[in-house]
Amino acid sequence: MKITFGQMRQMGLRGILVYCHCGHHIALDADRWPDEVRLSDIEPRFVCQGCGARGADVRPDFERGNPRLAIVGGRVAN
Ligand SMILES: [Zn+2]
């Protein structure tokens, strides 16, 4: 699912989770990116603080978003 930050905000989501292949992940506010940017566009920009690898998997943070959508997010994640 490659959506833009604008579409994500329309879903009521305000944050992203950035995952590295090593298992390290961080949560960030999505406010800093404009509506037209896709989540996949920023993936190559991250450098992992755990293993130093460049590139990450960026997903909407359902936990911090609309509570109504949190259940759906959990199902997708698992
Ligand atoms: Zn890593």
> With bands split at pLDDT 50, 70 and 90, how would you rate the model's confidence at 63?
confident
What's the pLDDT at 74? 44
Tokens matching residue 65: 């978003």
Domain holding 60, by residue range, is 5-76
**Intra-chain end-to-end CA distance of the chain, in Å:** 15
- 68 Cα–ligand 1 center, Å: 31
Residues around ligand 1, an ion, CB closer than 5 A: 20, 22, 24, 48, 50-51, 53
pTM, to two decimals: 0.76
Please give the backbone phi and psi of residue 33, each rounded to the nearest 5 degrees, phi first: -105, 140
- 25 Cα–ligand 1 center, Å: 8
- 46 Cα–ligand 1 center, Å: 10
- Are 56 and 23 spatial neighbours (Cβ–Cβ below 8 Å)? no
- Are 38 and 49 spatial neighbours (Cβ–Cβ below 8 Å)? no
Question: What is the domain count for the chain?
Answer: 1
The pLDDT tens digits for 22-61 are 999 999 999 999 999 999 999 999 999 899 999 999 999 9
> With bands split at pLDDT 50, 70 and 90, how would you rate the model's confidence at 64?
confident
Helix (H, G, I), strand (E, B) or coil at 49: coil
